[in-house]
Chains A and B, each alone.
Chain A
Amino acid sequence: MPDPAAAPPLDEMVDGRGGVRPHWRTLLGMLGGMGEGTLAERARRLDRAFEDEGMAGVLPGTKREAAWRCDPLPMVLPAGEFAALEAGIAQRARLLEALLADLYGPQQLLSEGLIPPDLVFANPGFLRACRQEGVAPAEPLLHLYAVDLLRGPDGIWRVLADRTTAPAGPGLARENRRLLARVMPEAFRGAPVRSMRPFFDLWQDALQRLAPLDGADPAVALLTRGTHDPRWFEDMLLSRELSCALVECGDLTVRGGALHLKTLQGLQRVNVLLSRLPGARLDPLECAEAGTGGVPGLLDAARHGAVRILNAPGAGLAEAPALPAFLAGLAPRLIGEDLLLPSVETLWLGDPAARQRVAEEPGWRVGAEAATRPPVASVVPCVAGDGLEPRPVALRMFAVFDGSAWRVMPGGLARIGDAAAQVGALPTQGLAKDLWVLAEEGADIIGPAALRLPPLPIRRAPGALPSRVADNLFWLGRYTERLERAARLVRATQARISRGVVLPREQAEVAALARCLAHAGFPGAEEVGGYSAAQALPGIIAAAMREGGPLPGLADRIAALTAMVRDRLTADMHATFTLTLRTARTEMLQAGDGLEAISRAMISVLRFATAVAGMAAESMVRGGAWLFLDLGRRIERAQAIASEVGFALDQPPARIEGGLRLVLELCDSIITYRNRYLSVLQPAPALDLVLADESNPRALAFQLAAISRNLSEVASDADGALPDEAASLLAEAEAMVALVIAAPDQAVAAAGLPPRLEAVAGRIAALSDAVTRRYFALLPAQQTLGLEGAAPAMKGAA
């Protein structure tokens, strides 16, 4: 037999006689109209678009940075060819469903000897927890099916791998299309490209349709591996496309035999779980592989029909590497049809004859259980430098079962490069192309009508906000504010020490600032004395900007939290947060000891903080997500004001004026003060402005009033203790100012406030802890019993 690897690859665009294939002509015509270098420029723009979307991670150099890129030239499939693939993919999905239904049910195929028992019993993908003797499994087991295909020199598409666990890629395919349409709009003109939107609409309906029968208005959730997983970005995209909640295992709990989402409003039932985890990791009660992760009781809830998990947890069984060797034989037995879409040549190595063939013939790729002999993949033109270069291509295509039929996505991912080599790898890396499916001349490209759902009831209440997300938003608010405060302190300090010597009348202010900096976590600031301050503080500030210092550290935590709440931010918000934060962080790290450079970096920090505040104010609905972001920011700011005003006023009464000046500066209230009182600086008006004035967004009172308001909204009617405490703190702020106003000597009264301010700061910290305990449910760790603890139970009776 000749070595199939020796034949030259088929060219997808150019036929054997050097002519361009008809379905590529429109695209090529468009390319001809583009100027020199335009394509390379588009490739760069596409890279940048992905980066801005957050696919490339928030910070440079962090692990979340995915090396996923899209080539500006799509891969084109003519209508007829897609129709053939569509029929083949749908049939293969039906076949695998029938196979799974047998192997998780009566196992007739094993009794009849149609597949070797090794493929089932020695396969870690066979989850015994998902089979019950004598009970047929709930169907469908397969809902989302993906297939990797390549085309050999003979022009035939063959299946390289079937993906049935939780196939990656459908969200990325959609994202490629969206960004390509933005960057290469002219490519879509005149080309009858089928839209992917109807497919996602159908998919969304299908999830509703597949809900177990008991509930009206079924709730669908997408279970992600978590924000630290490289697939998280796609999971987030999918949850948006499919309009379902994005949840992690820790957000879920099984109570009374049913699956629930833990939200701020209590437990909410989940009827359909689109799982992106391998089945063995779903339930620690049933599968040792789950360790202490997963949701205890989830498989039992599914077993008794309280929730539908898609794909079924055991569906990964159909990915057995040797299975393709038997599919052509199984098709007539299981679905009464001949297999339309062949696999690449596959041999099961448990068969001695197969082992012999593999040893004697060239070209076999040998794995543990199976050997395959894929043909040379066809090639497509890709942008390389200023020109084009033919590179091998493998397709990943997707199909979804809607309850009665399989629907194939008219599109997908065309993976480029050593495609044939990396078939098993996730498509989260490397280069891909948008896959265009051309509509037939005059065909309806809208697709079948979507399921008509009853009109939704109008809802204004905050939707289901998982406690974990509220927690992340709260800390995003706190850290953003903390970073901003640090920048303001640095600027105020620099203004006083930039001349190298501190003016005598500013000595007290610099000492107070050093205490503020120490409080804000600047290492070394607590030891700074009065006269040496001008010498010591520049070094302390510069050190705080360096890698590992408190400011870049805060930026990193903010970046991580931004990534974790990515699904709660619009694309514009995310891009704004990310770009401004990245700029500020880079400037900090590059500032070195230069006062000027540090000052510029601080301006960038303030710009970032302003962008967050502006976006939150203008683009976020005043619901749960906004409430917690704002709550975090207000609590952090209230605490900082109380502490810093305390430090500034901790002076002999005769020198209180310097402290007041500092207070107004740190609270960004100098201009307001000047407008109200011109240039006379007195304790009562200054303290009224920064402590008691509810209309000043930099005043303590403003924060406390907002905290009280937010907490009453979150707590609804349940418990009023938290908003009451905020209101009581507000009264204390007013009382302090009233005391100064009424005092015979305002300076003495002001200088006596620091202990009261310190107490207020302490109460705010306690309030923050109470919020954390009340809403973020810090659950103790999950532990398993029985496998490690049963030693005494296993004594023999001999």
Chain B
Amino acid sequence: MIYRLRHVTTYAYAHSVDLAAHLLLLTPRRLPHQQVAQASLTVTPAPSHMTEARDHFGNQATRVFLDIPHERFEVVAEALVEVRFPDAPPAAATPAWEAVAGAARGSRAAEFVFPSPLAPLVPAATGYAAASFPPGRPVLAGLLELMGRIRQDFAYRPGVTGPNTQVAEVMEGRSGVCQDFAHVMVSALRGLGLPARYVSGYVRTRPPPGGVARRGADQSHAWVEAWLGHEHGWVGLDPTNDILVRDEHVVLAWGRDFGDVSPLRGVILGGGAHGLWVGVDLEEVEGPVPA
């Protein structure tokens, strides 16, 4: 599936900002099953300095520095991306979850077993997940069941949680948004010793029958990748939608939790209060990828 991506972020400040530094994780990752044909970032006002570097997790990080006074800051990220993640292996063919946990410590996935600031070990979350992982169960079978339960047991309710909402609060309130569900699932899996990472990106909204996708209706999205052992590697699981990641998601970046992959963060001097507008379009492109 080929998508044209357009993600616009706009900050408007009450007072002039004299100096600003922003860290952007807005360029889709190049992956074996995600081809990035084009990618661009347009920043207004024009930065006085701009750098590109890969971060610790291999994500493409852009830093922009502005030293002219401005009252509005806008980033337009555009990309043309082809995604076709392979089908997950049959759940029954994956190793027992205890074996995956045992193999994790000596692997490259080890980092994602440890708790992190926004996905700490929460006994309530671990206990919740444990019900899907009886002894000897194939890991993917447990993961699919856990994902389904989260979709069923937690209400999707924007506005009740914020970016710093803790997993314990979400377990308590049983509601939140994609970021909260991803943190719950990551935290729960780590509690069992299973490597899990937080993925930031986009999902297409299914257009209504015969209609077209509503522009600006889509937003930044977040889901989970879990490790199935050396043979099968990582698999993407979207607990907000209860689907495996195949060809409806575009991956921006991954990390331990939202704190590692916030798409846009910054430090500004001045500015006072600010307003923020975000709009995302992820449209399917018909036909061959333009060069």
Residues of A within 8 A of B (CB): 110-111, 113, 116-118, 120-122, 128-129, 131-135, 253-257, 284-286, 288, 292, 296-297, 300, 303-304, 779-798
Contact between chains at A300 and B63 (CB < 8 Å): yes
Contact between chains at B65 and A254 (CB < 8 Å): yes
Kindly supply a per-residue 1/0 record for chain B positions 143-162, scoring 1 wherever the CB is within 8 Å of any chain A CB and 0 otherwise.
00000000000001011011
Instruction: Compute how far the CA of A118 lies from the CA of B106 in the bound complex, rounded to whole angstroms.
Output: 11
Task: Name which residue of chain B comes closest to A780, CB basis.
Answer: B270
Contact between chains at B114 and A118 (CB < 8 Å): yes
Q: Say whether B276 faces chain A, with CB atoms less than 8 Å apart.
A: yes
Q: B171 CB to closest chain A CB, in angstroms?
A: 18
Contact between chains at B21 and A285 (CB < 8 Å): yes
Q: List 23 A-B contacts (CB under 8 A).
A: A117-B110, A117-B111, A128-B56, A133-B54, A133-B55, A253-B19, A285-B266, A286-B23, A288-B259, A300-B63, A304-B53, A779-B18, A780-B269, A782-B269, A786-B266, A787-B259, A790-B263, A791-B162, A793-B263, A794-B222, A794-B258, A797-B241, A798-B241
Contact between chains at A789 and B164 (CB < 8 Å): no
Contact between chains at A789 and B114 (CB < 8 Å): no
Q: Say whether B291 faces chain A, with CB atoms less than 8 Å apart.
A: no
Task: Tell me the B54-92 residues at the A interface (CB within 8 Å).
Answer: 54-58, 63, 65, 67
Instruction: Compute how far the CA of A113 lies from the CA of B106 in the bound complex, rounded to whole angstroms.
Output: 6
Instruction: Compute how far the CA of A798 lies from the CA of B179 in the bound complex, rounded to whole angstroms.
Output: 12
Contact between chains at A795 and B177 (CB < 8 Å): yes
Partner of B158, one of A113, A257, A788, A795: A795
Q: Which of A121, A133, A796 has the most CB of B within 10 A?
A: A796
Contact between chains at A790 and B268 (CB < 8 Å): no
Q: 17 extra interchain contacts, Cβ-Cβ under 8 A, other than A285-B23, A794-B163?
A: A117-B111, A117-B113, A122-B115, A129-B55, A132-B53, A133-B56, A256-B65, A257-B49, A285-B266, A303-B51, A303-B53, A779-B18, A782-B268, A782-B269, A792-B276, A795-B219, A797-B219
Instruction: Compute how far the CA of A779 lies from the CA of B159 in the bound complex, rounded to whole angstroms.
Output: 34
Partner of B18, one of A285, A780, A785, A796: A780
Partner of B241, one of A129, A134, A782, A796: A796
Instruction: Compute how far the CA of A122 lies from the CA of B114 in the bound complex, rounded to whole angstroms.
Output: 6
Instruction: Compute how far the CA of A110 lies from the CA of B105 in the bound complex, rounded to whole angstroms.
Output: 10
Partner of A783, one of B114, B202, B271: B271
Complex interface: chain A residues within 8 A of B265 (CB): 285, 784-787
Complex interface: chain A residues within 8 A of B21 (CB): 254, 285, 296-297
Complex interface: chain B residues within 8 A of A116 (CB): 105
Contact between chains at A783 and B18 (CB < 8 Å): no
Instruction: Compute how far the CA of A120 lies from the CA of B256 in the bound complex, rounded to whole angstroms.
Output: 14
Contact between chains at B219 and A110 (CB < 8 Å): no
Q: B44 CB to closest chain A CB, in angstroms?
A: 16
Q: Which of B21, B105, B258 has the most CB of A within 10 A?
A: B21
Contact between chains at B219 and A284 (CB < 8 Å): no
Listed from nearest, the 9 A-B pairs whose CB atoms lie closest are A786-B265, A796-B178, A117-B110, A296-B21, A780-B270, A128-B56, A133-B58, A296-B267, A796-B240
Contact between chains at B56 and A297 (CB < 8 Å): no
Contact between chains at B106 and A256 (CB < 8 Å): no
Complex interface: chain B residues within 8 A of A120 (CB): 111
Partner of A784, one of B49, B266, B276: B266
Complex interface: chain A residues within 8 A of B222 (CB): 794, 796
Q: Say whether B6 faces chain A, with CB atoms less than 8 Å apart.
A: no
Q: B141 CB to closest chain A CB, in angstroms?
A: 23
Task: Name which residue of chain B comes closest to A298, CB basis.
Answer: B21
Instruction: Compute how far the CA of A797 lies from the CA of B269 in the bound complex, rounded to whole angstroms.
Output: 33
Complex interface: chain B residues within 8 A of A121 (CB): 110-111, 113-114
Task: Tell me the B246-291 residues at the A interface (CB within 8 Å).
Answer: 258-260, 262-271, 274, 276-278
Instruction: Compute how far the CA of A113 lies from the CA of B104 in the bound complex, rounded to whole angstroms.
Output: 12
Task: Name which residue of chain A comes closest to B109, CB basis.
Answer: A117
Instruction: Compute how far the CA of A798 lies from the CA of B177 in the bound complex, rounded to whole angstroms.
Output: 9
Partner of A300, one of B51, B54, B111, B159: B51
Determine the interface band of chain B, counting residues with CB < 8 A from chain A.
35 or more
Instruction: Compute how far the CA of A788 lies from the CA of B258 in the bound complex, rounded to whole angstroms.
Output: 12
Tell me whether A796 and B221 are in contact in the complex, defined as CB-CB below 8 angstroms, given that A111-B108, A113-B106 are known contacts: yes
Instruction: Compute how far the CA of A133 lies from the CA of B269 in the bound complex, rounded to whole angstroms.
Output: 31
Q: A256 CB to closest chain B CB, in angstroms?
A: 5
Instruction: Compute how far the CA of A117 lies from the CA of B108 in the bound complex, rounded to whole angstroms.
Output: 9
Tell me whether A796 and B219 are in contact in the complex, defined as CB-CB below 8 angstroms, given that A132-B55, A786-B266 are known contacts: yes
Q: Say whether B166 faces chain A, with CB atoms less than 8 Å apart.
A: no
Instruction: Compute how far the CA of A628 lies from the CA of B173 in the bound complex, rounded to whole angstroms.
Output: 59
Task: Tell me the B102-136 residues at the A interface (CB within 8 Å).
Answer: 105-106, 108, 110-111, 113-115, 117
Instruction: Compute how far the CA of A791 lies from the CA of B58 in the bound complex, rounded to whole angstroms.
Output: 25
Q: A346 CB to closest chain B CB, in angstroms?
A: 21
Contact between chains at B67 and A794 (CB < 8 Å): no
Q: A348 CB to closest chain B CB, in angstroms?
A: 13
Instruction: Compute how far the CA of A796 lies from the CA of B158 in the bound complex, rounded to whole angstroms.
Output: 8
Tell me whether A793 and B56 are in contact in the complex, defined as CB-CB below 8 angstroms, given that A113-B106, A256-B49 are known contacts: no
Contact between chains at A782 and B267 (CB < 8 Å): yes
Instruction: Compute how far the CA of A755 lies from the CA of B184 in the bound complex, rounded to whole angstroms.
Output: 72
Partner of A787, one of B56, B111, B163, B276: B163
Contact between chains at A128 and B260 (CB < 8 Å): yes
Contact between chains at B163 and A134 (CB < 8 Å): no
Complex interface: chain B residues within 8 A of A253 (CB): 19
Complex interface: chain A residues within 8 A of B219 (CB): 792-797
Contact between chains at B56 and A255 (CB < 8 Å): no
Tell me whether A132 and B56 are in contact in the complex, defined as CB-CB below 8 angstroms, given that A788-B164, A797-B204 are known contacts: yes
Complex interface: chain A residues within 8 A of B178 (CB): 794-798
Contact between chains at B156 and A796 (CB < 8 Å): yes
Complex interface: chain A residues within 8 A of B49 (CB): 255-257
Q: B221 CB to closest chain A CB, in angstroms?
A: 6
Complex interface: chain A residues within 8 A of B268 (CB): 782-783, 785
Contact between chains at A793 and B276 (CB < 8 Å): yes
Instruction: Compute how far the CA of A256 lies from the CA of B67 in the bound complex, rounded to whole angstroms.
Output: 9
Contact between chains at B58 and A134 (CB < 8 Å): yes
Contact between chains at B266 and A794 (CB < 8 Å): no
Instruction: Compute how far the CA of A129 lies from the CA of B63 in the bound complex, rounded to whole angstroms.
Output: 13
Task: Name which residue of chain A comes closest to B276, CB basis.
Answer: A789
Complex interface: chain A residues within 8 A of B263 (CB): 786, 790, 793
Tell me whether A798 and B110 are in contact in the complex, defined as CB-CB below 8 angstroms, given that A296-B21, A297-B65, A303-B53 are known contacts: no
Q: B156 CB to closest chain A CB, in angstroms?
A: 6
Contact between chains at A790 and B264 (CB < 8 Å): yes
Complex interface: chain B residues within 8 A of A122 (CB): 114-115
Task: Name which residue of chain A comes closest to B55, CB basis.
Answer: A132
Task: Name which residue of chain B comes closest to A290, CB basis.
Answer: B267
Contact between chains at A128 and B55 (CB < 8 Å): yes
Contact between chains at B179 and A794 (CB < 8 Å): yes
Contact between chains at A794 and B177 (CB < 8 Å): yes
Task: Name which residue of chain A comes closest to B21, CB basis.
Answer: A296
Tell me whether A779 and B269 are in contact in the complex, defined as CB-CB below 8 angstroms, given that A257-B65, A796-B241 are known contacts: yes
Instruction: Compute how far the CA of A326 lies from the CA of B96 in the bound complex, rounded to whole angstroms.
Output: 32
Instruction: Compute how far the CA of A785 lies from the CA of B262 in the bound complex, rounded to whole angstroms.
Output: 10
Q: Say whether B35 faces chain A, with CB atoms less than 8 Å apart.
A: no
Q: Say whether B38 faces chain A, with CB atoms less than 8 Å apart.
A: no
Q: A787 CB to closest chain B CB, in angstroms?
A: 6
Complex interface: chain A residues within 8 A of B117 (CB): 288
Instruction: Compute how far the CA of A117 lies from the CA of B103 in the bound complex, rounded to whole angstroms.
Output: 13
Task: Name which residue of chain A comes closest to B273, CB basis.
Answer: A783
Q: A116 CB to closest chain B CB, in angstroms?
A: 8
Complex interface: chain B residues within 8 A of A135 (CB): 53-54
Complex interface: chain A residues within 8 A of B140 (CB): none
Instruction: Compute how far the CA of A575 lies from the CA of B9 in the bound complex, rounded to whole angstroms.
Output: 57
Contact between chains at B220 and A794 (CB < 8 Å): yes
Complex interface: chain A residues within 8 A of B63 (CB): 285, 297, 300
Q: Say whether B203 faces chain A, with CB atoms less than 8 Å apart.
A: yes
Complex interface: chain A residues within 8 A of B202 (CB): 797
Complex interface: chain B residues within 8 A of A785 (CB): 11, 22, 264-268, 274
Tell me whether A793 and B278 are in contact in the complex, defined as CB-CB below 8 angstroms, given that A133-B55, A254-B65 are known contacts: yes
Task: Name which residue of chain A comes closest to B270, CB basis.
Answer: A780
Complex interface: chain A residues within 8 A of B267 (CB): 284-285, 292, 296, 782-785
